[in-house]
Structure 1
Amino acid sequence: MTILDHGKEQSIIAILHNKDWRANQQQRLLSDYRMDVVLGIKLNIPGKIKTNEEIQQIFTAGVKEIQRICRVADLPLVFWKQYLRRLTGPECFMVIAENVVLVKRQMIQFEEQFALGRLFDVDVLGQSVTNQLSRTDLGLPPRKCYVCGRPAKQCARNQTHSIDDLKSAIDQYYHEYFGAQS
């Protein structure tokens, strides 16, 4: 039994509708904050259960860490809104008055250095880029799989790991982080 084994299952239709909702939120923010950088923050959670108390705990810890990074790096946070209790998984949107490349580099550091960072998906969007900025756009290696450390897209495409392996890895990240916090 893992932390991802309880909660309300979501249909693929609900998940796809949420993807559209997220894209609309991001586009609205890009339109409202034309000179700034928009962050779309969510978790990479496998399976049909996308939220429960533990998932919300992981998400809240990550959002707090991103806010801390913004303060320390002097990245002016001009807007943020968190949707913690969405059935399709918690989400947060932030707007930062800074250069998109600098913000992307900070979010890559978050994903790589924060203990739970690999579980997060942080889209970094700005008017100066046509799509979201990727690691390879910056000459950096691709995101690593949180199970084996190989390129995550390769593992996902090849379905290298079972859903149980993915859930077990997330469960381990959770217990290592929150057990250490006690």
Structure 2
Amino acid sequence: MNSLLDAREQRQAALLDVLRDGPEALVFVSLNIAGRDKWPDGAEAMFAWALRQTLAACAQSSPAVLAHDALGSYAIVFGTAAPELKRRMVSIESAEAAARLVDLDVYDASGIQIGRQELGLAPRTCLLCAEPAVDCMRAKRHPVEEVIARTHELLSNFRA
């Protein structure tokens, strides 16, 4: 558990470090994988897909940061026009069922995260039902085993 907390802190430090370079906006690319195994079979290919999509949407050839930690891989990609960038990232997150596991967080130049709510967009839905994901997580509506099973099912198309 400490390694997961350390990874979160290191990711935040990396984000703040990149923001010092003064980008107009950036995207923090990661996967949202339930359970202890944060890098199950198929996750590497899913992350690679998400990174390619993000780089193309940001007209970038490579990420500013690309790293791997206890939570899996992550990347930071420079972009512009944070609200429009967030809309493009939501499109990627909605491109196919497995993209529901992709987390594309957009930040403006001052480090403020641009959320779906600020753009009048609906929150992400739960992996298992039509309710907002954050509500299901907070209420612990679904057994973690079911969430993990759905995660593995979504990753199945990305397995070699």
Instruction: Tell me whether the two structures share a fold, i.e. TM-score over 0.5.
Output: yes
Q: Distance in 1 between matches of 2:106 and 2:140?
A: 26
Report the number of matched residues.
159
> What is the aligned partner in structure 2 of residue 16 from structure 1?
5
Q: Where do 5+ consecutive residues of structure 2 fail to align?
A: none
Q: Distance in 2 between matches of 1:36 and 1:76?
A: 14
User: What percentage of aligned pairs have identical amino acids?
Assistant: 23
1:133 Cα deviation after fit: 0.8
Residues 140/108 of structure 1: CA separation in 2 closer, same or farther (3 Å cut) = same
Higher relative contact order (CA 8 A, sep 6+): 2
The answer to whether the 8 Å contact 1:51/1:86 transfers is: no
Aligned counterpart for 2:55 among listed residues 62, 67, 90: 67
TM-score for both structures, normalised by structure 1: 0.79
CA distances 1:102-155 after superposition (whole Å, capped 9, x unpaired): 100000111112342210111111125x63111001111111112213100001
1:67 Cα deviation after fit: 2.5
1:37 Cα deviation after fit: 1.1
> What is the aligned partner in structure 1 of residue 127 from structure 2?
146
Does residue 157 (structure 1) correspond to residue 141 (structure 2)? The answer is no
Aligned counterpart for 1:82 among listed residues 66, 85, 105: 66
TM-score for both structures, normalised by structure 2: 0.89
Does residue 103 (structure 1) correspond to residue 92 (structure 2)? The answer is no
For 2:87, what is the secondary structure of its paired residue? Answer: helix
Q: Distance in 1 between matches of 2:53 and 2:60?
A: 13
Q: Where do 5+ consecutive residues of structure 1 fail to align?
A: 1-11
For 2:28, what is the secondary structure of its paired residue? Answer: strand
Letter in 2 for 1:174: L
Give me the CA root mean square deviation.
2.0
